[in-house]
Structures are given as structure tokens and as C-alpha cells.
């Protein structure tokens, strides 16, 4: 925070941050005014400007408080030991306790009202935290797996677990959710991610029933999809890709577009669904194939992602990227809910965890494909990382 004022008041800052959370939780951040914030805090506008230049600075101060506190809760989980070797996952009670104590913030983050910028910013924070605050190394590595390779994998796994707990309304106590995490870590294995084809038949049969059979409908939708991809390929800005521009490129009337999709968002959702239809079948492996089958499935997954480079170019647009994450996450959760793997903890926690990890794996591969992020993990490294249970963690 850059404000330098002799009138800065920590008590006022605390009230303003609490007020901001309260107001944006009901009305959203974009529509919140400084008057709304000061009225809720029962402070004057002068008191606000003595502490902050604008609401953006107030929000940034709030987020930084949460981030600093979260990092400290990670450190508290390891007590006085800066380096810990563990085959049994250490207690994360300080982390869960911190989340519970700051529930208004985390409730807002997962409420659906938080902005794309805020969500992606917090995700980036998790990634950077694993890269800069913690050195997380397998004790018995297979090949060169380092923190650069694993930071995003770990970040989304952590976000998935916390998000599940928050969205459940903190159904479990701090002690109970920590126990669930211990069991998850102890039991996790590659077979969680690659399911028996017999379990997932219902997913594909239901999806097939939803697909249009009329060839004219299929041709028109293919034309609309191709038009959108053509605009993306030509680097047309996201805001300039409108229903009109798509219809013009497809050489159809706008009325024809609206006969198939109510708006551009529904079109993108349909294309994400099509992407899911191509990649999710690659995650099916018969039990007798074992770890080798999982690695082969991982290679098939990468090949299916690579084959969709034209569509994935759209992920350069932040709005499309957020929609992609949300939609694909739902598809993955529906897929993993078909699993019948034997576990001793909450099955929905398993669904959230494996969906989050797989979403990160797919997103990282997609990002590398369009030159957004590097991608170094090969199939054998992915499987080893998933199976790895013994780590050495150093707090930097």
C-alpha cells in the first residue's frame, strides 16, 4: 500500500477491509462504490482517503493480508523444523484453521462473484508460493522432477481441496478435514486418474444422446465453430469476436446462429464440451494394464490435446480461459464421479482433488501448446509424480 498519510489508522483499515468483503459479497466488486464501503464501515470518506487512494488499493491490501497469512500458516504446519521428510502427510491444521478464521474472504473467492482477475491472481499466488517459499522434492525421484515442474500441479491440488471445503460450507471441522487429507495422501495412486472403461460407459452414452443427428444441423454447427476458430487464428481481439462477426465469417444469418446458440458463451461452452469428448475417453484404462497402461493413456491424452491446437488458441483471451477452466472442471468432475475406486475418505473430496490435478495437467499442456507456459512433464514423470508419497520439504 502506497498511501503515506499521518492519519493512517490500522483500526480504520481493518474496518474498511471487513466492510469491503461484506459489500462485494452481496453486490459484487465492480458495482461497489467507496460510499458503499464507508457506509458499511460507519466511517467517513475522509477516513477512507486517509488510508487508501481508491477501492483497488483497498482490495490489494486485503488480498496481501490473506496471502501473507496463508504463507505463515504453511510455515506453522511444520513448526520449528525447516526441513521435513515425511511418508505420512504432515498435519495442515494451521492452514485449515486460517481458512476458517478468514471464511468471509474464501467464501467470496468461491462464491462465483469474484472477478476473473482476482481468481487468476490468487491461483498465480499459489503457484509462486510453491516456487519461492517452499522447496518440495521427492525423496526417491524418477528422473529430473523439480519445483518448476510441480508448482502448478501442487497449486491446483491445494486450491481444489480448499475450494471443496469452502463450498461445502465447512462441513468438516478443522480436525476432520485434516484427517481426510491424511487419508487422501496415503491412498493416492495413478489408478485414481485413469478409470476402468466399464465404469464410464454411462458418461459417453449420455453424451451421445445429446448430440444432434440431423446432418444439416451438424454441418451448420461445424461451420459456426470453424468461423469462430478462423477469427481466433486471425488474432481478432476477444471483444471484437461477436455473433455478427462469427455469422459473417460462417456466411450465415445471425438468426441462423441464434437457432443453434443463444449467445457466444454457449458456443464456447459447446466447443469446450467437444474438446472434453475428445480427451476424456483417453483417461480410461483397464485395471490389468497397470502403471504402463496409465502412461500410455497419458500419452494419448497429450496427443488429443495437441490435436486441438486451433481451439486452444482461444485460451489467450482471459475471459475464454476462465470459461474453459470452469466448464472443463465440471466435465472432469462428472467423469470422476463415475469412479468406483475404493477409498476410505469422502468421495466428493476425491472427485475435487483428481479433477483439480487433471485440470492443471490439461491446462499446462494446452498453455505450452500456444506458447503461454513451458511444459516439461513426460508421461512417466506425471505418473511418478502422482504416485509419489515420500517428500522432503524445506521452508525457504
Sign of CA dihedral 105, 109, 111, 116: positive
> pLDDT at position 3, please?
47
Calpha distance 9→37 (Å, rounded)? 16
Task: Give the C-alpha distances (Å, rounded to integers) separating 47 from 2, 38, 59, 309, 351.
Answer: 16, 8, 16, 52, 47
- pLDDT of the chain, 396 residues: tens digit per residue: 444 454 578 899 999 999 998 898 887 788 899 999 999 999 999 999 999 999 999 999 999 999 999 989 988 887 776 666 655 567 889 999 999 999 989 998 887 777 767 777 777 888 788 777 776 666 665 555 555 656 666 777 788 889 889 988 999 999 999 999 888 888 888 888 888 887 776 666 666 666 666 788 889 999 999 999 999 989 899 889 999 999 999 999 999 999 999 999 999 999 999 999 899 989 888 877 888 888 899 899 999 998 998 888 888 887 788 788 888 988 999 899 988 888 999 999 999 889 888 887 887 788 766 665 555 567 777 776 677 655 666 666
Beta bridge partners of 134: 395
Beta strands in the chain (DSSP E): 83-86, 134-138, 391-395
Question: Under a CB-based contact definition with an 8 Å cutoff, are residues 220 and 214 in contact?
Answer: no
Question: For residues 246-279, b (16+ Cβ closer than 10 Å) or e, as one string?
Answer: bbebbebeeeebeebbeebeebbbbbbbebbbeb
**Fold category of 1-53 in CATH:** Arc Repressor Mutant, subunit A (1.10.10)
**Torsions phi, psi for 88 (to 5 deg):** -105, 125
Q: Which of 217, 309, 228, 231 has the alpha carbon at shortest distance from 265?
A: 228
Q: Where in the chain is the domain with CATH 1.10.10?
A: 1-53
> pLDDT at position 4, please?
47
C-alpha cell at 96: 485449515
Contacts of 122 (CB under 8 A, 6+ apart): 63, 109, 159
Q: What is the CA 115 to chain-centroid distance, rounded?
A: 14
3-state SS class at 394? strand
> pLDDT at position 256, please?
95
Amino acid at each position: 500500500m502506497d498511501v503515506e498519510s499521518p492519519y493512517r489508522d490500522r483500526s480504520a483499515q481493518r474496518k474498511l477491509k471487513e466492510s469491503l468483503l461484506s459489500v462485494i459479497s452481496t453486490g459484487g466488486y465492480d458495482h461497489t462504490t467507496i460510499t458503499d464501503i464507508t457506509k458499511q464501515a460507519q466511517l467517513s470518506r475522509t477516513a477512507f482517503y486517509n488510508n487508501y487512494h481508491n477501492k483497488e488499493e483497498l482490495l490489494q491490501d486485503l488480498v496481501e493480508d490473506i496471502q501473507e497469512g496463508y504463507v505463515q500458516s504453511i510455515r506453522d504446519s511444520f513448526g520449528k523444523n525447516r526441513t521435513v521428510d515425511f511418508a505420512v502427510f504432515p498435519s495442515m491444521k494451521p492452514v485449515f484453521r486460517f481458512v476458517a478464521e478468514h471464511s468471509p474472504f474464501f467464501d467470496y473467492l468461491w462464491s462465483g462473484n469474484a472477478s476473473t482477475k482476482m481468481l487468476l491472481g490468487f491461483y498465480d499466488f499459489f503457484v509462486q508460493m510453491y516456487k519461492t517459499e517452499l522447496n518440495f522434492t521427492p525423496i526417491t525421484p524418477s528422473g529430473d522432477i523439480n519445483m518448476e515442474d510441480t508448482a502448478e500441479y501442487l497449486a491446483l491440488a491445494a486450491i481444489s481441496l480448499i475450494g471443496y471445503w469452502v463450498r461445502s460450507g465447512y462441513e468438516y471441522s478443522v480436525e476432520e478435514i485434516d484427517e481426510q487429507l491424511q487419508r487422501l495422501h496415503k491412498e493416492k495412486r495413478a489408478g485414481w486418474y485413469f478409470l476402468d472403461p466399464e465404469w464410464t460407459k454411462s458418461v459417453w452414452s449420455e453424451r451421445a444422446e445429446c448430440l444432434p443427428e440431423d446432418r444439416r444441423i451438424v454441418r451448420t454447427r461445424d461451420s459456426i465453430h470453424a468461423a469462430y476458430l478462423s477469427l481466433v487464428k486471425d488474432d481478432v481481439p476477444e471483444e471484437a469476436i461477436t455473433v455478427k462477426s462469427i455469422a459473417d465469417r460462417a456466411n450465415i444469418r445471425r438468426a441462423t446462429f441464434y437457432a443453434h446458440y443463444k449467445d457466444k458463451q454457449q458456443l464456447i461452452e459447446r466447443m469446450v464440451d467437444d474438446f472434453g469428448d475428445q480427451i476424456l475417453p483417453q483417461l480410461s484404462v483397464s485395471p490389468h494394464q497397470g502403471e504402463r497402461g496409465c502412461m500410455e493413456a497419458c500419452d494419448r491424452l497429450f496427443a488429443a490435446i495437441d490435436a486441438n491446437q486451433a481451439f486452444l488458441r482461444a485460451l489467450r483471451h482471459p475471459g475464454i480461459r476462465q470459461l474453459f477452466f470452469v466448464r472443463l472442471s465440471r466435465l472432469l468432475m462428472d467423469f470422476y464421479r463415475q469412479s468406483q475406486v475404493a477409498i476410505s475418505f469422502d468421495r466428493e473430496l476425491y472427485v475435487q482433488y483428481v479433477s483439480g490435478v487433471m485440470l492443471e495437467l490439461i491446462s499446462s499442456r494446452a498453455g505450452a501448446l500456444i506458447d503461454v507456459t513451458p511444459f516439461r512433464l513426460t508421461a512417466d514423470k506425471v505418473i511418478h509424480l502422482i504416485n509419489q508419497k515420500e517428500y522432503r520439504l524445506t521452508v525457504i
